[in-house]
Every structure is written in structure tokens, then in C-alpha cells.
Amino acid sequence: MGALPILQKDQNQRACLGNKNLPANYMSDYSVLGLVVGRLDAALRILKEKKFEVLQKSGGFEITIDGAGRMSEIVNLLHRNGIDYTLADIVDQVYQG
């Protein structure tokens, strides 16, 4: 299973790794894809109503996904409900030296 982070658009806020470790061989190009949405509260409510497993995080939330097909289900659900979203690299504060 994987996790899809979802953050609020236009908050100049990106995910940081917290206490997570970088992969041993990340070659200075480490990234994490997530969805950046226009209305975070509405997105959270809609996804919870459809019984997605949601984990609250600082500045957003994560959805547990069990396959690539769930990604299209999530973005289609957001689109049908008028939630603006963008797929983006959400990692910040990683030294790229």
C-alpha cells in the first residue's frame, strides 16, 4: 500500500520529511508526488464520504491507496465535485548538494 499526500494550494507549504529517512541512494533528485488542491476541507469531506482511509497530517492529509487505479478514482472524484487540483512534487527542505 502507498500513501497519497494532499495539501492546500497557495499556502507556500510543502511536505518535509520529518523523521523519515532519505533512501540510501537518492542521487539528489528525491521527490514525493502529491495532490495540491484548491479547497482542502471540501476534498477531505468528499474523500471521507467515499470511505477512503484518511490520515490527518500537519498542513493536509494522506490517503492510503492500494494501487494505481485508486489515483484515477481520487482525481475523478475531485473533478466531479469541482475541486481544483494539481499533481506536484511536494517535498521541500531537502538538501540537493
Q: How far apart are CA 22 and CA 31, in angstroms?
A: 10
CB 44 within 8 A of CB 53: no
**How confident is the model over 62-79, as pLDDT tens digits?**
998 888 888 899 999 999
Tell me the sheet residues that pair with 8.
37
Fold of 2-15+31-89: Alpha-Beta Plaits (3.30.70)
pTM: 0.76
What is the overall mean pLDDT for the chain? 81
Q: How far apart are CA 97 and CA 17, in angstroms?
A: 17
Instruction: Specify the higher pLDDT residue, 93 or 31.
Output: 31
Instruction: Specify the higher pLDDT residue, 71 or 19.
Output: 71
Tell me the sheet residues that pair with 5.
62
Q: Where are the domains of the chain?
A: 2-15+31-89
Q: How far apart are CA 32 and CA 89, in angstroms?
A: 5
